[in-house]
């Protein structure tokens, strides 16, 4: 597929996807979702890619869903546009490899929802976060109502959703919306370092830790623990990654995955 909005670069097995529609502050339209679905499929078929970083070009990460595209939609089309984004962002969680949001600027509305669909979020000191949908008479439509409260708790989520306040990177760090903050010029390099660090671990263990945490959130604790025990066990098979990792530790050498 030809990409008009997305740019892809692969550095040392780490794929960097840049959302590049800076004149509209990278607002998310139907073309974006089609391209992102195709890009995710392409990267998931490329077994040499060990992590994905998503960032934005210009002063925004993403300033939300494309208001100009949404304005003429009817109820049914509104719901369809919501499901389109929900499906794309859900697909990040279904990948075997980590997906990291490198938030360079505005992450508003659908932009924050995109970031929350990633496994974790690293921000520039210049990043700004918010769910301003109520300013438009809307609510978030790309799972923001669900993910924000799970990530930061109900009080902070409802505060942000009801006030539409924009917060900076330090506040986002304080409430757990982002995991690290770096100077703008260091953001991408630091994200690549984090991605490479993860890529040096057992790939199967990374895949399982992601799926057990994510699927566990949808379950009760006891059922989640059972899932953990089952997946823990799979890492003990003959010639498994777990056996190699533990043997390497005891033999005081680096594991070979």
Which of the residues are catalytic? 113, 133
Q: Which long-range contacts (CB under 8 A, 24 or more apart) does 232-236 make?
A: 234/208, 235/202, 235/204, 235/205, 235/208
Distance CA 27, CA 60 (A): 9
Positions in 1-30 near ligand CAA (CB under 6 A)? 24-25, 27
Closer to ligand CAA at the Cβ: 132 or 242? 132
- Tokens of residue 236, six digits: 């003990």
- 175 contributes a contact to ligand CAA by CB under 6 A: no
Instruction: Select from 49-57, 135-143, 194-202, 212-220 the region that touches ligand CAA (CB under 6 A).
Output: 135-143
Please, are residues 109 and 144 in contact by the beta-carbon 8 Å criterion?
Answer: yes
- 132 contributes a contact to ligand CAA by CB under 6 A: yes
Closer to ligand CAA at the Cβ: 13 or 34? 34
Positions in 65-84 near ligand CAA (CB under 6 A)? 65-68
- 56 contributes a contact to ligand CAA by CB under 6 A: no
| C-beta neighbour count of 182 within 10 angstroms | 17
Helix (H) or strand (E) holding 11: strand 6-11
What separation, in Å, do the N-terminal and C-terminal C-alpha atoms of the chain show? 32
- Tokens of residue 216, six digits: 């566990």
- 138 contributes a contact to ligand CAA by CB under 6 A: yes
Q: How far is the CB of 22 from ligand CAA (least distance, A)?
A: 9
Q: Give the residue, chosen from 33, 61, 113, 194, that forms a contact with ligand CAA under the rule CB under 6 A.
A: 113
Please, are residues 167 and 112 in contact by the beta-carbon 8 Å criterion?
Answer: no
Name the residues that contact ligand CAA, by CB under 6 A.
24-25, 27, 63-68, 85, 106, 108-110, 113, 132-133, 136, 138, 140-142, 144
């Amino acid at each position: 597929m030809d990409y008009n909005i997305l740019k892809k670069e692969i550095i040392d097995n780490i794929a960097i996807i840049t959302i590049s529609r800076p004149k509209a502050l990278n607002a998310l339209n139907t073309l974006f979702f089609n391209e992102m679905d195709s890009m995710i499929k392409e990267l998931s078929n490329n077994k040499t890619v060990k992590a994905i970083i998503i960032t934005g070009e210009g002063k925004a990460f993403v300033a939300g869903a494309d208001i100009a595209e949404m304005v003429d939609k009817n109820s049914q089309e509104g719901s369809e546009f919501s499901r389109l984004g929900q499906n794309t962002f859900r697909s990040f969680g279904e990948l075997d490899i980590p997906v990291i949001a490198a938030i360079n600027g505005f992450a508003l509305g659908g932009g924050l929802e995109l970031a929350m669909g990633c496994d974790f979020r690293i921000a520039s000191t210049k990043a700004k976060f918010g769910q301003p949908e109520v300013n438009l008479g809307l609510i978030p439509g790309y799972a923001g109502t669900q993910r924000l409260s799970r990530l930061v708790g109900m009080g902070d989520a409802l505060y942000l959703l009801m006030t539409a306040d924009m917060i900076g990177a330090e506040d986002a760090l304080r409430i757990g919306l982002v995991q690290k903050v770096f100077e703008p010029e260091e953001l991408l390099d630091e994200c690549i370092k984090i991605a490479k660090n993860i890529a040096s671990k057992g790939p199967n263990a990374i895949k399982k830790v992601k799926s057990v945490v994510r699927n566990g959130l949808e379950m009760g604790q006891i059922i989640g623990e059972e899932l953990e025990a089952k997946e823990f066990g799979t890492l003990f098979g003959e010639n498994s990654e777990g056996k190699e990792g533990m043997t390497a530790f005891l033999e005081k050498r680096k594991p070979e995955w």
